[in-house]
Amino acid sequence: MNVNIVLLNDQHAIYQQALWLIEGNGWTASEKPDPNADVNYYMPYLKWELDEHPNTPTAALFTHYEQGTAWKVDKWQDAAMFIDMPIVEAPMYCSVLKNARVVTACVDRDRFTPGQRPDNKRLNIGVAGVGQPRKGPKLIVDLFYQNAVECELSIIGKLWPFPHRYIEPDDLPDWYRSLDIYLCTSLIEGIPLPVLEALATDTKVVIPHGVGICDQLPEMEGIRHYDKGYGPDMLRAIKQAAEDKPSEGSLRAVTEDYTIEDWCESHYKAMEELCESAYYTLER
């Protein structure tokens, strides 16, 4: 089966996910649709253009639905009208996409591994990403900069409206290992990937309900949920997680269902189904 990935090269996480599909499934990638492919797969849906729509079956990775960003809503809705098979990682998006297929989100468990647990004098809480509104920066302002939580706050990424720093991708595993808790403040996400990366390093997480795949992760010692966007409940979850003492390896074990192999296999099955529905003959 010849699947061509129409790839947006400036998104690091999606680019890496595409490389895993190329390596694991033997697929190809290009900046434009391939008219000779069995399937053209847009990663993400933002790469789809109506005037370049190919005469092949099509799929697209619909990462997250930003209802507050008009041009992304338009792009999402336009692409959804023409794409044969929307692909999602979070089942919650099946309600807004017809014929959507859920694939397994993944994390590189060989790269993100446990290390020696930190012995921090103060609670060390980490936040990562691009500080745009959907990442929930107001929660950080409300809680941490008003001293609602006594802690060291380590923020990495860019565009946050308060002190933060950039770290190289190779340094991410050590950064997670230095934390007592990884905090996800997001309001809208597709996965979110940092949560899986933190868990793979056996680091405790505090995560919002109704965001990405967070509701698929169990409530247990070291994984605490809160009502998204609601500071008091986030504070409760942080305090609970701070007291948690999960057994060694129990948090990493949660990521056993989110492997690169599962990512590749779930994609292959989805594309196989798409080709069969279009009466294509497959050869793996």
**Encoding tokens for residue 167?**
């770290």
Confidence of residue 8 (pLDDT cuts 50, 70, 90): confident
pLDDT tens, residue by residue, 136-152: 999 998 777 777 888 99
Q: Nearest 5°: CA angle at 264, between 258 and 266?
A: 75
Q: Is the pLDDT of residue 65 over 90?
A: yes
pTM for the model: 0.94
pLDDT average, residue stretch 250-271: 98
Q: Is the pLDDT of residue 82 over 60?
A: yes
Confidence of residue 280 (pLDDT cuts 50, 70, 90): very low
Say what the pLDDT of residue 279 is.
Answer: 56
**Encoding tokens for residue 2?**
């010849």
Long-range contacts of 94-103 (CB under 8 A, 24+ apart): 96/65, 97/62, 100/62, 101/59, 101/270, 101/273, 102/266, 103/263, 103/266, 103/267, 103/270
Peptide bond into 133 cis (omega under 30): no
pLDDT tens, residue by residue, 116-137: 888 899 999 999 999 999 999 9
Q: Whose structure tokens read 């997250």?
A: 64
Question: What whole-number distance in Å separates Cα of residue 9 and Cα of residue 189?
Answer: 20
| C-alpha pair distances (Å), 278 with each of 21, 57, 119, 207, 269 | 22, 7, 57, 40, 14
> To the nearest whole number, what is the mean pLDDT of the chain?
93
pLDDT tens, residue by residue, 166-218: 999 999 999 999 999 999 999 999 999 999 999 999 999 999 999 999 999 99
Q: Nearest 5°: CA angle at 194, between 67 and 63?
A: 35
114, 249 contact by CB (below 8 A): yes
